[in-house]
Structure 1
Amino acid sequence: MWKYLFTALLILASHAATAAPLDFNQAKLEARRYVYFDRNTVGDEYCGCKWEWAGRNGGRFDLDQCGYQVRTQPTRAERVEWEHIVPASELGRQRQCWQQGGRSQCSREDGVFSRMEADLHNLAPVVGEVNGDRGNFQFGMLPNAPARHGACDFRVDFQQRLAQPAASVRGMVARVYFYMADQYGLSLSRNQQQLFMAWDRQYPVDDWERERDRRIAERMGHSNPFVIGSRSWRLGGAVDATPPPAATTAAVDAAPTAVVHGNRQSRIYHLAHCPSYNAMAARNQVTFADAASAEAAGYRRAGNCRP
C-alpha cells in the first residue's frame, strides 16, 4: 500500500512541477530557469543586449557591448525586465476588475487575468528602459521614426503611441499576438490583423522561436499552435491549418492518437471519443497533445467523458 501511495505522490509532484505558472511572479521565475536560462549570452529579444543574471529572475545589461544609448532612464536601462508582448492593459481592459481597480486588482482577484498575465508564451526579457518606452503602445510600422536607443533597433513614436520592433522578432511578435487572441478570446483590430499576418508571412519561424516554444510547452503543457503550424490566422480569427495531402496507409498507421479538445470558456476538455469532442465553436477550441497536458494547463475533463 505504501509503495502505491509513494508512487502516486511522485506522479502528483511531477505534475505540479510542470504545471503552468499561477501568477506573474512565478512566471518570471520559470521563464528565467527553464526558458531563457542560456539566452543572456545571446541577447534580449528587442535589442540583442547581453546580460548577467542577478537575483531570482533579474539581471544587469552590458549596454556598451551592444551599442545601446540611454534615452532618459539610466538605472532602468541597465535592468532586465519581463515584457508582456501583448501588454497587460490589453489583457485586462475588458475585464470588470480592471475597470474597478486596474492591474493590481485583477492580479489579486481575477483568476483568468492571472493566467493571462502569467502565460510564458507572452513573456520576454528586454531592456528595462525599452519596456518602459513601449508601455502599452500597439505595434506598427514607423519608417520615419528616429532611433532613440542607439544601436537597438526598436522604434517608438510617443505621439502616435506606436512601437516598431526589430525585423528579427516581428514574426514572433505576430504569432504571440495570434496565440493570445486565440487562447483567451482577445480582440484584434483589422489593421492589427493585417499587419501581423504580413509579419507572419515575411518572418517565418526560426530555430530559436521553435526552441523557445518547446521549452515553454514543457512548462505550460501546450505549444503556441501558430509556431508549430497547427493553427493559422485569417481575417476575423484563427483557423486550423490546412491538412497535408492524404497520407499513405503506413503514415496513417503511424499517426499519433487524436488530440484533446479544450473549451477556453468553460476550461473543460474532451477526449476524441467523448460526446462533445467536436461540439464547441471553433473560436473556443484549444488543442492539447493529451489529457495530462490539458490538466496541466488548468482544464478538467468533461463529466460525460469517460476514460
Structure 2
Amino acid sequence: MPHFIFALLLCVISFTINAEQFTRFSSAKKHLIKTLPTDAKSIYCGCDIKRKGKKLVPDATHCGYVPRNTFTRSGNVNQRALRIEWEHIVPAWEFGHQLQCWQDGGRKNCRKVSAKFRMMEADINNLAPAIGEINADRSNYRFGMLAQNANQYGRCEVKVNFKQRVIEPPVYARKRIADAYAYMQKTYGLKISNQQQKLFNAWQQQAYAANTDSKKL
C-alpha cells in the first residue's frame, strides 16, 4: 500500500481518548451513532458507513466487502452482513473474565452487580464500528498473525481462523486495536498476556515507522 494511502487510513481511524463516560452499553451506542463522523470507516474493512433511518449500514461500493455467508443456515438473508454494529475491541468476555462477577454469573450478572464492568462495557474508547458479520465471526477471538490468504470477505483484508480462534486485522486497523488495549490496561488494570503485549507493541511501532516514512515523501 503506498505510504500516503496508509497514512490517510491511519488518520481516519486513529485513536483519540474520549472523555465521555457512560454506564450503559446501550447509551454508549446511541451516543456513537449520533456523533459518528461522516467520513468514518468500518474498522476491519474500511467501508464507508451510511445512515439508514436510525441505523448504520456499510457501503461496500469501494471497500470490496463480500459477505462470507449471504444467507443464514435457515436460508434467511444474513442481516448482520447488512448492518454496522459496535465492536468491543477488547471483548467483553476478555475483560469480564478478569472480574469476580463473571465467575459468579457471566455477563448478565456483571451488568447487574458490577459498576466497573458496566463502565468497561460502555467505554466508547474500546468501541469501533464493524460490519455485523465480522463482529460475529470475531466473537472473542484473540488478535494474531495468520498465514492464510485474506479472501473470506471479498477484498476486505481481515482474516479469521475459526479453528485457532484468531483474527488478523488489516494493517491500517492495528494501531487502533493496540491503542485500545493499552487504554483498557491503563484505565481498568486489564491483564494482557506477554505474547499479546509484544504483538501490540510491534503494531504501534510499525504504525509510527510508516507514519514517519510518509512524512519524508
What is the TM-score normalised by the length of structure 1?
A: 0.57
Deviations 1:264-293 (A, max 9, x none): xxxxxxxxxxxxxxxxxxxxxxxxxxxxxx
Q: Check if 1:204 corresponds to 2:208.
A: yes
Query: Structure 1, unaligned stretches of length 5 or more?
Result: 1-17, 208-307
Between 1 and 2, higher relative CO (CA 8 Å, sep ≥ 6) is seen in 2
Q: Check if 1:187 corresponds to 2:180.
A: no
Amino acid in the other structure paired with 2:194? R
8 Å Cα contact 1:138-1:163 kept in structure 2:
yes
**Distance verdict in 2 for CA 1:19–1:190, change over 3 Å:** closer
Task: Work out the CA distance in 2 between the residues paired with 1:65 and 1:19.
Answer: 32
How many pairs does the alignment contain? 186
Instruction: Describe the SS at the equivalent of 2:208.
Output: coil
Task: Give, in angstroms, the shift of residue 65 of structure 1.
Answer: 4.1
Q: 1:68 aligns with which of 44, 65, 69?
A: 65
Structure 1 residue ranges (4+ consecutive) displaced by more than 6 angstroms after TM superposition? none
Task: Give, in angstroms, the shift of residue 181 of structure 1.
Answer: 1.1
Amino acid in the other structure paired with 1:22? T
Aligned position for 1:37 = 37
8 Å Cα contact 1:171-1:205 kept in structure 2:
no
How does 1:1-307 map onto structure 2 within 5 Å? Answer: 20-34=21-35, 36-39=36-39, 42-56=40-54, 58-72=55-69, 73=72, 74-204=78-208
RMSD between superposed Cα atoms in Å: 2.1
Task: Work out the CA distance in 2 between the residues paired with 1:22 and 1:195.
Answer: 30
Instruction: Describe the SS at the equivalent of 2:151.
Output: coil
Aligned position for 2:12 = none
Identity %: 41
8 Å Cα contact 1:78-1:127 kept in structure 2:
yes
8 Å Cα contact 2:42-2:129 kept in structure 1:
yes
Instruction: Describe the SS at the equivalent of 2:140.
Output: coil
Task: Work out the CA distance in 2 between the residues paired with 1:203 and 1:21.
Answer: 30
Task: Give, in angstroms, the shift of residue 66 of structure 1.
Answer: 2.6
Deviations 1:187-231 (A, max 9, x none): 111100111110010013999xxxxxxxxxxxxxxxxxxxxxxxx
Query: Structure 2, unaligned stretches of length 5 or more?
Result: 1-18, 73-77, 212-217
